[in-house]
Every structure is written in C-alpha cells, then in structure tokens.
Amino acid sequence: MNTIITGLQWGDEGKGKIVDYLTESADVVIRGQGGNNAGHTVIAGGAKYVLHLLPSGILWDNKTNVIGNGVVLDPVGLVIEIERIEAQGIAITPEKLLISDRSHVVLPFHKELDAAREASLGDQKIGTTKRGIGPAYADKVNRCGLRMADLLDREFATAQITRRVAEANEVLVRYNLTIFEASQVIDEVYTAFERLRPHITNTIPVLHAAWKSGKNLLFEGAQGTLLDIDYGTYPFVTSSNTTSGGSCTGSGLPPTAIDAVIGVCKAYTTRVGSGPFPTVDEGLSEYLHGLGREFGATTGRPRGCGWLDTVLLRFACMVNGVTGLAVTNVDGLDAYETLQICTGYNIDGVVHTLPPADRSAWDRAVPIYETMPGWQSDTTACTEYTQLPAQAKAYLNRLSELCGAPIAFVGVGPDRVQTLVV
C-alpha cells in the first residue's frame, strides 16, 4: 500500500504527526518536494522532535527514509538538523537516510537572495521563511542549479559555485546585503557535504525495488495545497508543487504506484506569511495563541487563525485526489461555544464554492458561514472515534460532506497516541 500524505490548507496541518503515526506500518518514508522551509513537529514518548528536511519516519528504527530528487536541500542546514536529532538519541545512518543525487542544492547565497527579493517587494512581500527556497528552485528551473551529484565532482562544482556567487553578489550589493566569498562558500558547503556523502545515492531504483517487492511506501508532503505554485494563492505561495503529484515527480515513482492519498487539515484554518485568508478571525487567533498554540515550527512566527474553510478544502480534495481526510487539532476547538464553517465565498454578489484564480478577487471574497454548536468538552483523552462528543462528530461529518471525502483519522492532541482511526 503506497500512500501520499498531503497538506490541504496553508501548511502546518499536522502532516509530520500523521506521517510519524503511519510509519509504524510503512517501510519507506519519502519527502519529494520543498526544503527546510518545512517544519514538522512530532511528539512521541514524551519527547518533541522538529524536523525540517528529514522525513518524519526518521524517529522509527528499521525504516528507510528518502530525501527525493524534488527536494531543494540545504546541506549546511541538514547537517545541523541531523546533529540535533542525533543529540535527541536517534541515530541517522546511511542505511536509514538516503539522499537523492538529483536533489538540488540550496547554497548560502540563495538565502540572502531570498531576503533581497523580500526587501524589494516592500509591503507586497511573500513572508517567506528566508531559507532560500524560491531562489534555489528558480536556479533549478533556469537550468543553472547545482545538484548533489555535481558536488561529487569538486572541480566542476567549484567553477559553478564561483560563477553563481559572482552573479548573486551583483544583486546583493544593490540591497546592502552580505556579499559572499566563493572560497568560503565552497568550504562551508563541502564541510557539510562530507557528512552527507555516505547518504547520497540514486534513490530511484531503490524506490522502484521497494515498490516491486510490495513494501509500503509513505510520501510526506511539505507545505499545503494553497501554497502550491500552481493551485495556491499565487504569488503568496512556495516554489514547488506541494500537491500529491509533486510526490511522484519528486521521487521518480509514477502515479500508477499510488494507492491512497490522505489529505491532512486542521479542524480550523491557519496561515503564516502574507496573502489572502478570507476566514481569518482575530478572536480565534487570540484564543489559540493564548493556549500557547499556533506558533511556527520553523520561524516561531504566530500563525494567523480562522474558521474552517471548505472552499479551500473542496478544491484541495479535488486536485490532490484525496481518498481519506486526517483532521487534526480537533481538541483546539474543545472550549468554543459556537463554531463557524465557511461553505462559499460571496465575490461581487456571486457565490463561489471553489477558490478564484484572480488575485484581486481574493480581497473581495466575503465568507459565507454556517454555524454549528461546539462540543465544549475535553476530547484529548479520547482513544476511539466513537468516544468523541456527538457535536464533534456532527462537525466532522459536515466537514466531510462539504469536501466530498471521508474522514480516516482524527487528531485530538499533539502526541503520536492522540490519533483516532475512523
């Protein structure tokens, strides 16, 4: 059984937690897109792990984890992450972590170019994570990127980096940003690369062999559908296909290998960074932040919070081909008296049940709400779906009905064990 786990909102839906939970019955966990802009939190056995580039299957013994060709990989960031996770008692061996030789390298100046671009946009800035994701993907598409395989040939990579550093400096100098010294960049990248070298391989035949021998593959999406470069709230998006198709192009496994797509969403909506967010609600944001919830795992920024938006979810279920929903953070609404569900947008007097493409239409979108009673009881100790209060089940049923996909999992707390199977 090969399953894609994908985010249905603006990221941070709880993908990491669901992937970790499902890894128990999987053999291989694969990241196919994004980079260390992702921040996936897993809480298990009393410890908290925050993963950026490492697949969330890394916490389990005897599982293979793959960083696929579609990922943009910051070697310096990955080494720091490996050391941090190893310090938490998780060994990361070359058998346990495979890195695609086709993955593109995020170089130190990509991060600075990311900052320069944001500065140039002023109040139109994207609010990126400043991890160099956009500039690295731009180099990839512009056919001037460097891949992990290229670093194996130091002479070639040195010439390439030297040229790219000179080009980057021309931009950076205009913004009074840090100028790079090619030799320093090369040293920094190669120090990290030497730690990663034993992990680098052609991951495509490895994944095909696993597929053909009937192993269970789990694909871990990063970001979410509304951050997808094609389907998201462009230009306030990330630079990869975060939707299910990205797992195939980002791993070398074809669509015919996929058996199921689990779409992860929160029981409400959150967004970090700029861009449209029709159902944002100040009261709900203050309430959740007051509980210490909804601060970004990568940048620590408070996430904007709002009501469940089924316009987004309906679209996300369509473009991802969702076969089952994992609704997380149901417990976040435990104390709320009355809940709102957005069923459509009113844009200039016309009701829309799918998101618009036109960016100015987003600004005129007025959510149409349906009101539902809250359950006002603690769900965090529930161990079976049937134990959920009737109003919580009614809310989930309505969500499922409006999105057109069945509910497969429900999250009632951040711990691995607080996952209910429907």
| CB half-sphere exposure, 360, CA atoms < 13 A | 1
Of the residues 67, 133, 305, 412, which one makes contact with ligand IMO according to CB under 6 A? 133
Q: Is 222 in the site for ligand IMO (CB under 6 A)?
A: yes
Nearer to ligand IMO, 12 or 334 (CB): 12
Contact window for ligand GDP (CB under 6 A) among 40-48, 240-248, 272-280, 356-364: 40-48
Q: How far apart are CA 67 and CA 71, in angstroms?
A: 7
The first and second tokens of residue 112, run together, are 């600075």
Q: Whose CB is nearest to ligand IMO?
A: 273
Q: What is the DSSP string of 195-242?
A: HHGGGEE-HHHHHHHHHHTT--EEEE--S-GGGSTTTSSTTSS-SS--
Of the residues 12, 81, 228, 334, which one makes contact with ligand GDP according to CB under 6 A? 12
Q: Whose CB is nearest to ligand GDP?
A: 411
Q: Is 334 in the site for ligand IMO (CB under 6 A)?
A: no
Q: How many helices (H) and strands (E) does the chain have?
A: 13, 20
Q: Is 39 in the site for ligand IMO (CB under 6 A)?
A: yes
Q: Is 68 in the site for ligand IMO (CB under 6 A)?
A: no
Q: What residue 391 binds from Mg ion, ligand IMO, ligand GDP, none (CB within 5 to 8 A, per partner kind)?
A: none
Strand 217-220 relative to strand 308-309, pairing: unpaired
Burial of 195 (0-12, 13-18, 19+ CB in 10 A): middle
Q: What residue 344 binds from Mg ion, ligand IMO, ligand GDP, none (CB within 5 to 8 A, per partner kind)?
A: none
Of the residues 4, 8, 9, 16, which one makes contact with ligand GDP according to CB under 6 A? 16
Burial of 256 (0-12, 13-18, 19+ CB in 10 A): exposed
Handedness of CA 357, 328, 23, 103 (dihedral sign): positive
Of the residues 57, 275, 278, 414, which one makes contact with ligand GDP according to CB under 6 A? 414
Q: Is 43 in the site for ligand GDP (CB under 6 A)?
A: yes
Nearer to ligand IMO, 56 or 160 (CB): 56
Burial of 190 (0-12, 13-18, 19+ CB in 10 A): middle
Q: Is 199 in the site for ligand IMO (CB under 6 A)?
A: no
Q: Give the E-state strand segments of 8-143 in sequence order.
A: 28-31, 40-44, 47-51, 64-67, 72-73, 97-100, 104-105
Of the residues 7, 304, 355, 411, which one makes contact with ligand IMO according to CB under 6 A? 7
Q: Is 273 in the site for ligand IMO (CB under 6 A)?
A: yes
Of the residues 329, 340, 343, 379, which one makes contact with ligand GDP according to CB under 6 A? 329
Nearer to ligand GDP, 57 or 414 (CB): 414
Q: How far is the CB of 42 from ligand IMO (least distance, A)?
A: 12
Say which of 40, 52, 104, 110 is annotated catalytic.
Answer: 40
CB contact at 8 A, 336 and 374? yes
Q: Is 285 in the site for ligand IMO (CB under 6 A)?
A: no
Of the residues 81, 118, 309, 331, which one makes contact with ligand GDP according to CB under 6 A? 331
Nearer to ligand IMO, 126 or 312 (CB): 126
Which H or E run contains 37? none
Q: How far is the CB of 403 from ligand GDP (least distance, A)?
A: 18
Q: How far is the CB of 26 from ligand IMO (least distance, A)?
A: 19
How far does the chain reach from its first CA to its final CA, in angstroms? 18
DSSP state of 147: B
Q: 12 catalytic, yes or no?
A: yes
Of the residues 182, 227, 388, 408, which one makes contact with ligand IMO according to CB under 6 A? 227
Q: What residue 71 binds from Mg ion, ligand IMO, ligand GDP, none (CB within 5 to 8 A, per partner kind)?
A: none
Which H or E run contains 152? none
Q: How far apart are CA 57 and CA 24, in angstroms?
A: 8
Kindly provide the b/e burial profile for residues 122-161, where b requires at least 16 CB atoms within 10 angstroms of the residue's own CB. Answer: eeeebebbbbbbbbbbbbbeeeebbbbbbbeeeeebbebb
Q: Which residue numbers are catalytic?
A: 12, 40
**Contact footprint for ligand GDP (CB under 6 A):** 7, 11-17, 39-41, 43, 297, 328-329, 331-332, 411-414, 418
**Contact footprint for ligand IMO (CB under 6 A):** 7, 10-12, 37-40, 126-129, 131, 133-134, 222-224, 227, 238-239, 272-273
